[in-house]
Structure 1
């Protein structure tokens, strides 16, 4: 999916940026159609997978930036040409973007453009673009007759992490690379955060983080992972007085039993309190921060996949 916001951020930070996307595949390949990466002269983000394929595509993208080529379509047999064991083939679309190139995309649901040749836009792609615009139907990334179409990224799920301790750090590191989430990370002071914050993560500090709850989107998902049981309880209390899509609290069954009693004393009904999930993660994976992070990430992604499947069935 074409992540317009991330591309705009990269351009603002680095100037013209090359975007490389998997446009077509055959046989066994490392990544799916639509997988993409951004490349600038001094760095890159995202991945198209494949080791040598990505290395060569990055080198070509930087060469494009140097000679100001706007778009290229290239085909790569992974075994014969690159010596990879996958054995399939990949077609890549590589394009150079500046801020001005993206202005017309803000209100669109899909992005169709010619990347090779000089043929007219195929009727099937025109129809897909029209259905996306008029009926909100999902567009499948596809390459046809030198034209490539992609869905523009839907709004990411707001995901708020409360706490930058060991578990909070593991979770943010695990989830920060996923474009499905827009991450906000909160703690009481700068000193509690690592020196390097993952790209795309918004960091907030507050003496009393619970004061920030009213600023959270009503459909945000929350994970409460602070160093203080008192702060955990206050966050639960404030979130139950605010709208949210999901709230998870790190802790034992004993901790949650105490919290339920305290939250009941604070005026919250049992059905409201039950909206908070505690414990979080998959206990069978272990109690290490990384294991908890993997369990929580899996649950969040599984939930997103199920919601998308239900939405597709009713579309």
Structure 2
């Protein structure tokens, strides 16, 4: 049988109707190689997410985002915090994480959740210096946002914070448990990378989700 045309109805436990057509191809070496290459191309085009910090929130984010069609990387200054992350998450030990911002591909997301406010500020400054990232978010509060703005001003940074999401995860849900924050931020990131890929396809190396 090369194909099956199946009506979707009560006889197979469906109630919405419609039809589905299934086509079958014998798996030869050539077909297997072509499928493997296609899957590799899909993986290469997945939107990238860089998480700076692998504390409680960083780990929760890595766990949440690793379940999705995303290329996830975690950058940390503390070696021990990189232990136990999902196998499909890339880990990077870096003495100066802010220097890795230039390695982030266009259309990617940068999530800043380190253990040090000063380090957060350094990373965010570098990220906001680019105009080709889909999402730049930092954990914190409105007070931290104001403090960061003042710090940028003293540093002579002439830009605005319009492209910075701070606090990440929004302000409607007040629950601060890492898993809840991760769920909220995951939704923000998915929306942002999809919107960027659709609006700026020439600048994004990823396909819309």
What TM-score, normalized to structure 2? 0.73
SS at match of 1:226: coil
Distance of 2:81 and 2:122 partners within structure 1: 19
Match of 2:184, SS? Answer: helix
Q: Alpha carbons of 1:102 and 1:274: their partners in 2 closer, same or farther (altered >3 Å)? A: same
Cα–Cα, structure 1 residues 258 and 190, in superposed 2: closer, same or farther, change >3 Å? same
Partner of 2:46: 156
Q: Mean alpha-carbon deviation: is it higher for 203-212 or for 91-100?
A: 91-100
Q: Which residue does the alignment assign to 1:204?
A: 92
Structure number with higher relative contact order (C-alpha < 8 Å, ≥ 6 residues apart): 2
Query: Residues 99 and 241 of structure 1: is their aligned pair in 2 closer, same or farther, counting only changes over 3 Å?
Result: farther
Quote the Cα distance in structure 1 between the aligned partners of 2:25 and 2:87: 22
For residues 113-132 of structure 1, the aligned pairs below 5 Å read none
Residue aligning to 2:179? 290
Gap regions ≥5 residues in structure 2: 201-209
Q: Which residue of 2 aligns with 1:253?
A: 142
* 1:85-124 equivalences in 2 (<5 Å): 101-102=32-33, 106=37
Q: Provide the aligned length of Structure 1 versus Structure 2.
A: 192
Structure 1 unaligned segments of length 5 or more: list them.
1-22, 29-76, 80-84, 111-150
Does residue 177 of the first structure (1) align with residue 70 of the second (2)?
no
Indicate the residue corresponding to 1:215 in structure 2. 103
CA distance in 1, matches of 2:100, 2:122: 12
- Please identify which structure carries the higher strand content: 1
Q: What is the aligned partner in structure 1 of residue 119 from structure 2?
A: 231
Asked if 2 retains the 8 angstrom alpha-carbon contact of 1:240 and 1:268, the reply is no
- SS of the equivalent of 1:161 reads strand
Give me the whole-angstrom Cα distance separating, in 2, the residues matched to 1:302 and 1:264: 30
For the pair 1:279 / 2:167, whether they are aligned, the reply is yes
* Residues 237 and 266, structure 1, Cα contact 8 Å, conserved in 2: no
Q: Distance in 2 between matches of 1:183 and 1:200?
A: 8
> Which protein is bigger by CA-based radius of gyration?
1
The 3 A distance-change label for structure 1 pair 310 and 240 is closer
Distance 2:190 2:80 in 1: 30
1:302 equivalent to 2:191? Answer yes
Hey, what's the Cα distance between the residues in 2 that align with 1:98 and 1:206?
42
